[in-house]
């Protein structure tokens, strides 16, 4: 089956006063209908820049984008603004972290859910309202007939995030890009929103690109995961496999540094030493080498001089960029993630 989304050799560069920031560098991945791909990494790894690049949402005066973003056979990266606008909010929708800034405080939920929808479809106000109420019900907002007339500030954080998801669903998207959709919420509400996304994804055969720094989120809902570091893909594969047996020292470091969600609360947490690289002046070779506890095991100075290729580890679904032989990392003591 042809993937719904195929990103090939994507690069995003920002021109800043300090020089050029290479936010995304030669990134390739694909996503099929009915699947959830989690893109994981620390802040500054390029995951949000990737999400924005898919929909051409970067400021074109400052960002330089190259590569292909093939969506259902069309290269979105080659489209002009008008061509892209036809996809945004309809076939491809975005859900952001902060619903309070994404929603306008001045307009009712009805207005915000129906404006773009009416413009696109020519639906009557009444029909659009009916659809908005349906979508609010679908995302679990109680009493949607009344609440559709309210303003964002009348909703709790979790309910606002549901409204954002309802807004995304208005256009019956094939692909939803959700950037840290639960980060601003408390743990219980987070779990409810993730369940909601997973449920909608399964029932509508959506493709969901879930951008997150939180491996707990990945373990709950993602089929596949792509780990990014300094703008590149460093490890990819079925989420359960990657979480159970990471093959990249950075992925393993991330796993060791997260608080347990479902396992042993007393498990040792070891943060990764050092901090993410300065993308104005990234380290040569493997960008992770200044923080890597495994580089001594690689002969010579390879880690500091040669960029490791992102290549399959036998199974073509399982990819990694590291000079270590595959299977070199010993398993973690007791899995930190369910």
User: Which residue ranges make up the site for ligand SF4 (CB under 6 A)?
Assistant: 248-249, 286, 288-289, 292, 294-295, 298, 303, 308, 322-324
The nearest distance, CB 210 to ligand SF4, in angstroms, is 24
200 binding partner (options ligand SF4, Mg ion, none; Cβ < 5 to 8 Å by kind) = none
CB of 161 or CB of 294, closer to ligand SF4: 294
C-alpha closest to that of 103 among 181, 160, 178, 171: 160
CB of 213 or CB of 297, closer to ligand SF4: 297
CB of 160 or CB of 289, closer to ligand SF4: 289
In angstroms, rounded to a whole number, what is the distance separating the alpha carbons of residues 52 and 67?
A: 14
In angstroms, rounded to a whole number, what is the distance separating the alpha carbons of residues 216 and 134?
A: 31
CB of 22 or CB of 294, closer to Mg ion: 22
286 binding partner (options ligand SF4, Mg ion, none; Cβ < 5 to 8 Å by kind) = ligand SF4
Q: Are strands 63-71 and 74-75 parallel, antiparallel or unpaired?
A: antiparallel
CB of 58 or CB of 302, closer to Mg ion: 58
Q: Is 210 helix (H, G, I), strand (E, B) or coil?
A: strand
In angstroms, rounded to a whole number, what is the distance separating the alpha carbons of residues 271 and 268?
A: 10
The nearest distance, CB 256 to ligand SF4, in angstroms, is 14
- Residue 251 lies near Mg ion (rule: CB under 5 A): no
138 binding partner (options ligand SF4, Mg ion, none; Cβ < 5 to 8 Å by kind) = none
Place of tokens 């479902």: 262
CB of 143 or CB of 301, closer to ligand SF4: 301
Count the Cβ atoms, other than its own, within 10 Å of residue 336: 24
Place of tokens 């076939």: 91
The nearest distance, CB 290 to ligand SF4, in angstroms, is 8
b/e sequence 23-42, b meaning 16+ C-beta within 10 Å: bbbbbbbbbbbebbbbbbbb
292 binding partner (options ligand SF4, Mg ion, none; Cβ < 5 to 8 Å by kind) = ligand SF4
48 binding partner (options Mg ion, ligand SF4, none; Cβ < 5 to 8 Å by kind) = Mg ion
Q: Are strands 315-320 and 224-229 parallel, antiparallel or unpaired?
A: unpaired
C-alpha closest to that of 55 among 229, 191, 176, 223: 176
H-type alpha helices, 11-124: 47-54, 81-85, 99-102, 109-121
Q: Are strands 232-238 and 224-229 parallel, antiparallel or unpaired?
A: antiparallel
Q: Tokens standing for 44?
A: 């500054």
The nearest distance, CB 48 to Mg ion, in angstroms, is 3
The nearest distance, CB 198 to ligand SF4, in angstroms, is 31
The nearest distance, CB 286 to ligand SF4, in angstroms, is 3
Q: Is 30 helix (H, G, I), strand (E, B) or coil?
A: strand
The nearest distance, CB 249 to Mg ion, in angstroms, is 23
CB of 160 or CB of 323, closer to ligand SF4: 323
CB of 21 or CB of 135, closer to Mg ion: 21
Phi and psi at residue 52, to the nearest 5°: -70, -35
249 binding partner (options Mg ion, ligand SF4, none; Cβ < 5 to 8 Å by kind) = ligand SF4
The nearest distance, CB 133 to ligand SF4, in angstroms, is 51
Footprint on residues 38-57 left by Mg ion (CB under 5 A): 48
Q: Tokens standing for 270?
A: 């070891």
Handedness of CA 196, 198, 201, 207 (dihedral sign): positive
Which residues would be at the binding site for Mg ion (CB under 5 A)? 48
């Amino acid at each position: 089956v042809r993937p719904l989304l195929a990103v090939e050799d994507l690069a995003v560069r920002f021109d800043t006063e300090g020089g050029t920031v290479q936010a995304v560098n030669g990134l390739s991945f694909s996503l099929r209908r009915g699947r959830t791909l989690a893109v994981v990494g620390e802040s500054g790894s390029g995951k949000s820049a990737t999400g924005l690049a898919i929909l051409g949402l970067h400021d074109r005066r400052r960002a330089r984008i190259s590569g292909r973003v093939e969506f259902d056979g069309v290269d979105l990266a080659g489209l002009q603004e008008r061509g892209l606008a036809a996809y945004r909010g309809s076939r491809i929708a975005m859900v952001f972290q902060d619903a309070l800034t994404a929603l306008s405080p001045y307009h009712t939920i009805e207005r915000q859910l129906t404006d773009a929808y009416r413009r696109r479809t020519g639906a009557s106000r009444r029909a659009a309202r009916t659809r908005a109420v349906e979508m609010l019900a679908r995302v679990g907002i109680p009493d949607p007939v009344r609440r559709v007339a309210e303003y964002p500030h009348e909703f709790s954080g979790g309910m606002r995030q549901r409204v954002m998801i309802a807004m995304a669903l208005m256009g019956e998207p094939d692909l939803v890009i959700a950037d840290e959709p639960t980060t601003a919420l408390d743990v219980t509400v987070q779990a409810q929103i993730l369940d909601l996304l997973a449920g909608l994804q399964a029932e509508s055969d959506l493709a969901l690109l879930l951008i997150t720094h939180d491996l707990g989120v990945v373990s709950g809902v993602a089929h596949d995961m792509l780990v990014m570091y300094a703008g590149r893909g460093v490890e990819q594969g079925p989420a359960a496999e990657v979480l159970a047996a990471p093959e990249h020292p950075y992925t393993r470091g991330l796993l060791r540094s997260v608080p347990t969600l479902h396992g042993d609360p007393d498990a040792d947490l070891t943060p990764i030493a050092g901090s993410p690289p300065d993308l104005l002046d990234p380290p040569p070779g493997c960008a992770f080498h200044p923080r890597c506890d495994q580089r001594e095991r690689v002969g010579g100075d390879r880690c500091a001089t040669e960029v490791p290729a992102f290549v399959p580890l036998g199974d073509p679904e399982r990819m990694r960029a590291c000079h270590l032989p595959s299977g070199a990392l010993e398993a973690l003591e007791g899995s930190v993630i369910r």
